[in-house]
Amino acid sequence: MKTPAPDIFRFSAVLSVAALALTGCGGADDAASADEEAGDDGAAAPEASGELSVWVDSDRADVLAEAAADFEADTGITVNLVQQDFAEVRDQFVSQVPTGEGPDIAVGAHDWLGVLVTNGVVAPVELGDAAEDFEDVAIEAWTYDGQVYGVPYSIENIALLRNADLVNEAPGSFDEMIELGETSGATYPFLVGLDAQTADPYHLYPFQMSFGAPVFGQNSDGSYNAEELTIGNEGGIEFAEWLADQGEAGTLSTNIDGDLARENFIDGESPFLLTGPWNVPAAEEAGINLAVDPIPAAGEEDAQPFAGVQGFFLSAQSENTLAATTFLVDYVGSPEIQQSLYEVGGRAPALTEAFDAAMADDEIVAGFGAVGAEAVPMPAIPEMGAVWDYWGASQAAIINGEGDPAQLWEQMAEDIAEATE
């Protein structure tokens, strides 16, 4: 997910799902037929019969159909693909699994894990030695509370898009980037989309990281420790002051939202745009000579962005765990399927073998992938909603010069600590 999910959809989804679940019209016959099949004792049959139900979004449905066909040919188990809107999957899954009408497997983003695990609807998947075949950040992202909960397939993160016709070298630091941007003669030296009310902690995170202020401390296995809030440390204060300076200098403006930033970049009004792969097609269509650079640091340390890792996960109420795990680990996790998933999604694959192939294949993906391999996973704790909320509002206030940056930042750290308790 590129930004914290819009909750209004969640709100309405929950209501409608609750209504459907109780009236019992949501695919009741599927569940019944699956039960029959499971009870059916076909010991004499040469091959197994059975069904798996998988929720997948429309983009990935065709690739999964390939994997499903292979799986059926090898094992005799039919895989029923049910198309769902990606953004709806999380809440549908949470409300459907307890009713017994959820799928065995669903597609999703790793930052849903907090909610899925706290609701007890997702089961761990033991990847075993296969875990080493994936990029580290992908496995770290899908690890929650010491357990791996899914088979990742793609890594999504932001990087610096550069209009190579305006500036022909990658900047080494934030200040250098602004300098390059200014000498290029474009209207804006650098663009990043910020919301007037909530700024954008996700897009600004690499700069925050470069001041050495991650939001939470990390455990040795890469997972976040929500009890160790590091956002309010000295680096955080420095970052807040930097934000206020940039706001005053006009290099960051909350009046330029994501759409305006993209439009201006496409029109050649700025040589740099900090964004994710979702804006690449529009820029390519407009004929911009694109280059993807690492994000320049504003502070002393590396400017690591958040990574969102997509994957497939297993229902805690699945009655076909054995078949589902086999399908996940041996089919979805296979290089061919990972490669196909990369071809439809355009995001760097999570499996190292496919990742390396993609890096050699496409410069844009290689640019994002190189940044993504160094990225830190987006925290997945269920309280993130509250964290984004305080974080964004305070950033907007600081950029707009509404008070002492250090004081506002400390207040925010306190509010977040209270919300995540």
Partner 1 sequence: MADGSTTSRPVRETSRRRARRQKQASTLIEATSSGWKLMLFKIVVLSLLCATAVYAALVLFMIERWLVGSLVIIGAAALTWIYLKRGVLPAKYLAPGLVFLLIFQIFVVLYSGYVAFTNYGTGHNSTKDHAIQAIMLQSQDRVPDSPTYQVSVLEEAGELLTTDQLYLAVVSADDEILIGSAEQPLEPTDQATVEDGRVVAAEGFEVLEFHQLLERQTEITDLSVAISEDPNDGYLRTQDGQRAYVYTSRYIYDEAADTMTSSETGTVYRDTGEGAFIAEDGDQLLPGWRINVGMDNFVRAVTEESIRGPLIYVTLWTFAFAFLSVATTFALGLFLAMVFNDKRMTSRKYYRLVMILPYAFPGFLSALVWAGMMNQEFGFLNNVLFGGAAIPWLTDPWLAKISILIVNLWLGFPYMFLVCTGALQSIPEELSEAAQVDGAKPFQAFRSIKLPLLLTALAPLLISSFAFNFNNFNLVYMLTGGGPRDVSAGVSVGSTDILISMVYKVAFVGAQADYGLASAFSILIFIIVGTISVVAFRRTKALEELN
**Residues counted in the chain:** 421
Is 420 an interacting residue with respect to partner 1 (CB under 8 A)?
yes
What backbone torsions phi and psi does residue 257 show, to the nearest 5 degrees?
-85, 180
**Hey, which residues between 72 and 101 contact partner 1 (CB under 8 A)?**
75-77, 94-95, 97-98, 100
156: Cβ contacts below 8 Å, ≥ 6 apart: 2, 276, 277, 307, 308, 309, 310, 347, 348, 372
Packing angle between helix 335-345 and helix 58-75, nearest 10 degrees?
160
* Residue of 170, 335, 389, 406 interacting with partner 1 (CB under 8 A): 389
Is 403 an interacting residue with respect to partner 1 (CB under 8 A)?
yes
The region, left, alpha or beta by phi > 0 then psi within -120 to 50, assigned to residue 84 is beta
Amino acid at 201: P
Is 380 an interacting residue with respect to partner 1 (CB under 8 A)?
no
2-10, 167-175, 283-291, 365-373 -> range binding partner 1 (CB under 8 A): 2-10
Is 249 an interacting residue with respect to partner 1 (CB under 8 A)?
no
Torsion of CA 28, 32, 33, 35, to 10 degrees: 140
Is 145 an interacting residue with respect to partner 1 (CB under 8 A)?
yes
Is 126 an interacting residue with respect to partner 1 (CB under 8 A)?
yes
Our CB check for partner 1 shows the closer of 359 and 381 to be 381
What backbone torsions phi and psi does residue 194 show, to the nearest 5 degrees?
-130, 145
Least distance from C-beta 289 to partner 1, angstroms?
26
Spatial contact of 274 and 344, defined as CB atoms under 8 Å apart: no
Strands (E), 46-142: 51-56, 78-83, 105-109, 122-123
* Residue of 69, 82, 249, 322 interacting with partner 1 (CB under 8 A): 322
Is 260 an interacting residue with respect to partner 1 (CB under 8 A)?
yes
249: Cβ contacts below 8 Å, ≥ 6 apart: none
* Residue of 141, 226, 252, 323 interacting with partner 1 (CB under 8 A): 323
* Residue of 92, 198, 210, 304 interacting with partner 1 (CB under 8 A): 198
Least distance from C-beta 95 to partner 1, angstroms?
8
Least distance from C-beta 342 to partner 1, angstroms?
25
**Hey, which residues between 217 and 246 contact partner 1 (CB under 8 A)?**
none
Least distance from C-beta 175 to partner 1, angstroms?
24
* Residue of 1, 31, 170, 357 interacting with partner 1 (CB under 8 A): 31
* Residue of 208, 223, 320, 339 interacting with partner 1 (CB under 8 A): 320
Q: Is 182 exposed, middle or buried (0-12, 13-18, 19+ CB in 10 A)?
A: middle
Q: How far apart are CA 320 and CA 379, in angstroms?
A: 30
**Hey, which residues between 327 and 346 contact partner 1 (CB under 8 A)?**
329-330
Is 401 an interacting residue with respect to partner 1 (CB under 8 A)?
no
* Residue of 24, 172, 217, 281 interacting with partner 1 (CB under 8 A): 24
Judged by CB under 8 A, the number of residues near partner 1 is 90
Spatial contact of 397 and 323, defined as CB atoms under 8 Å apart: no
Is 50 an interacting residue with respect to partner 1 (CB under 8 A)?
yes
* Residue of 166, 373, 408, 413 interacting with partner 1 (CB under 8 A): 408
Question: Strand 306-315 and strand 376-377: pairing?
Answer: parallel
* Residue of 73, 146, 185, 285 interacting with partner 1 (CB under 8 A): 146
Residue 36 CB neighbours (<10 A)? 9
